[in-house]
Amino acid sequence: MTYNLVCGLETHVELSTKTKIFCSCPTAFGSDPNTNVCPKCLGEPGSLPLVNMATFIYAIKAGLALNCKINQEVSFDRKNYTYPDLPKAYQTTQFIQPICTNGYIKLNSGKKIRINRIHLEEDAGKLIHSGGNTYIDCNRGAVPLIEIVTEPDISSIEEAREYLEKLQLNLRHVQVSDCKMEEGSMRCDVNLSVNRPGEPLGVRSEIKNMNSLSFMEKAIAYEYERHVTAIKNNEPLVQETRRFNEADGSTSAMRDKEDANDYRYFKDPDSPYIIIDDIFIEDIAKTMPMLPEKIKNNYLEMGLSEQDADLIIKYKKVSDYFSSALVTGDPKILSTYMLGEIFRSIETESQKEDFNILVPYAELAELSNLQKEGKINAQMAKKTLAEMLKSGKSWKEYISKSDMEGIDEGTLIAMCKTAITENPMAVADFKAGKDKALKALIGAVMRQSRGKANAVQAEQTILDLIK
Ligand code: ADP
Ligand code: MG
Ligand code: ZN
């Protein structure tokens, strides 16, 4: 008997606004503890919130990127609970009138994962456990978040991963958030139940605060098995909140799941009721960049493979640079530069995200055209690009006029003859059936010609000569 996996994700994403949601404290990550705080974000009596308009612009961009309806009447509510990282004892959030509703993310299979809502809210501070003590750092308190809540439409681990990756990709492209799970700017709660085809939804559990894709996958796998086993053994499942244990990939109960009632939500009396007019939304829509799915389709139409296109669109700045180079350069050759020499020079994920390379896109495009027109071969292009990446100088510094003249047939034959007489062992090996020996001979020709010879022509000429 098989059970369906039923999963809905609630994803918290920190917005990359410079300041917090209701005050002008900076949102910077990594400052000294409790230095980015003021009476407003600590919720001290007598302080009043001032809504940061940028947070609305960011949330609307997210909504537009995720096919949502943007609601034009929006307000804030208080969600009451106590925890040491929340000195205010309530979180300001949008419970009743969220900014966006009814969106979706389309998976590669064509299936849509529906987004029920996106709301704006403030983050809480952080507890730091160290040397048997616990410290409170309120820097993160009142950093603006959006929470993106799906319908329970996800039915496999693969779908959960694809949904989250697509969410991350879209939000990065519209520059709403850097979505770094390892730094906590993207965190995800997994809601999961199981049922049999045709049955109503089962009892769900919620696993809090997944901070990596692989933890999320492990948590879903573990939780699915736990639910199925409980049902098969006739053990009751209760609606509860669970934690994920990184050490062994298990989950364990934290607390009974609260209901909305437990939080005593009520409208925040201190923040304004907000009406968003059409023009505000239209102006934001006009500034929206092309979305990753569309960019990818363009790359595919230009002849890139699906895999290469995915690697390039993964990083917003890489994809902007590549798209600019494409306007005048050759798509296939540019993609080999990008995924070869350029990515080799910036290995880490964060280097790729920041993408500060010394070569202007127009230079790269010119190099690709020299190669395409046969003025230089792939090896020379590669060597030149490596130098350009190190020095930031133009290709003109490394490729001379004579380099671009190519090699006439007579010269090539002479070079091949020299290679053959100077490498008798390689010739003998090749004749004895070692195909690899041919590479050594071609290599000798390339060296003589300082990389100018065409390797395919050299190979053919050598074969003709030693036949
Ligand atoms: P709450 O706010 O109490 O966490 P919601 O109704 O807002 O509850 O749902 C939170 C998440 O749980 C949503 O992503 C939703 O899709 C998911 N969810 C709701 N019911 C189930 C269920 N039976 N199985 C799996 N996921 C569920
Ligand atoms: Mg929840
Ligand atoms: Zn503040």
- pLDDT, position 257: 66
CA atoms within 13 A on the CB side of 67: 14
Who's near 175: CB < 8 A, 6+ residues apart? Answer: 16, 61, 289, 316
Q: Which CATH number among 2.60.40.1180, 3.30.1490.20, 3.10.20.600, 1.10.10.410 corresponds to the domain 409-465?
A: 1.10.10.410
What is the Å distance from ligand 1's center to 191 Cα? 6
Who's near 294: CB < 8 A, 6+ residues apart? Answer: none
Q: Which protein residue has the closest C-alpha to ligand 1 atom 11?
A: 8
Which residues have their alpha-adjacent CB atom under 5 A from ion ligand 2?
10
Phi first, then psi: give them for residue 108, nearest 5 degrees.
-60, -30
Is the Cβ atom of 201 under 6 angstroms away from ligand 1? yes
| 252 class by beta-carbon count within 10 Å (0-12 exposed, 13-18 middle, 19+ buried) | exposed
Is the Cβ atom of 98 under 6 angstroms away from ligand 1? no
- pLDDT, position 463: 92
Nearest alpha-carbon partner for 179 in 12, 394, 375: 12
Which residue of 10, 79, 227 sits with most ligand 1 atoms within 8 Å of its CB, as the best mutation to test the pocket?
A: 10
Dist. CA 68–CA 351, nearest whole Å: 32
- pLDDT, position 467: 79
Other beta carbons within 10 angstroms of residue 179's beta carbon come to 20
Atom of ligand 1 nearest to the CA of 202: 23
Instruction: Find the helix or strand (DSSP H, E) in which 14 lies.
Output: strand 4-14
Dist. CA 349–CA 281, nearest whole Å: 33
What is the Å distance from ligand 2's center to 242 Cα? 11
DSSP letter string over 281-307? Answer: HHHHHHTPPPPHHHHHHHHHHTT--HH
What is the Å distance from ligand 3's center to 464 Cα? 78
Query: 187 pairs with which residues across the strands?
Result: 12
Phi first, then psi: give them for residue 92, nearest 5 degrees.
-85, 125
Question: b vs e for 427-445, b when ≥16 Cβ sit within 10 Å of the residue's Cβ?
Answer: bebbeeeeeebbebbbebb
Residue type, 432: A
Dist. CA 447–CA 464, nearest whole Å: 20
Encoding tokens for residue 57?
A: 């612009």
Dist. CA 439–CA 426, nearest whole Å: 9
The pLDDT averaged over each successive group of 10 residues in the chain (467 residues) is 94 97 94 96 93 97 98 97 93 97 97 98 95 96 98 98 97 96 93 95 95 96 97 93 94 79 92 96 97 96 95 95 96 96 92 93 96 88 95 91 78 92 92 90 88 84 89
Encoding tokens for residue 222?
A: 């573990």
Encoding tokens for residue 98?
A: 């969220």
pTM comes to 0.86
DSSP letter string over 439-456? Answer: HHHHHHHHHHTTT-S-HH
Is the Cβ atom of 150 under 6 angstroms away from ligand 1? yes
Q: What is the dihedral of CA 41, 47, 49, 54, to 10 degrees?
A: -60
Dist. CA 301–CA 284, nearest whole Å: 29
- pLDDT, position 165: 96
Are the C-beta atoms of residues 123 and 140 closer than 8 Å to each other?
yes
Q: In this structure, what DSSP letter does residue 257 have? A: P
Nearest alpha-carbon partner for 177 in 354, 59, 19, 66: 59
What is the Å distance from ligand 2's center to 10 Cα? 7
Q: What ligand is nearest to the CA atom of residue 40?
A: 3
- pLDDT, position 422: 93
Residue type, 135: Y
Which residues have their alpha-adjacent CB atom under 5 A from ion ligand 3?
23, 25, 38, 40-41
Dist. CA 264–CA 430, nearest whole Å: 83
Is the Cβ atom of 10 under 6 angstroms away from ligand 1? yes
Q: What ligand is nearest to the CA atom of residue 9?
A: 1
Domain range list for the chain: 4-282, 290-405, 409-465
Phi first, then psi: give them for residue 179, nearest 5 degrees.
50, 50
Dist. CA 22–CA 38, nearest whole Å: 11
Dist. CA 303–CA 320, nearest whole Å: 18
Is the Cβ atom of 8 under 6 angstroms away from ligand 1? yes
Largest separation between any pair of C-alpha atoms in the chain? 94
Atom of ligand 1 nearest to the CA of 153: 16
Residue type, 167: L
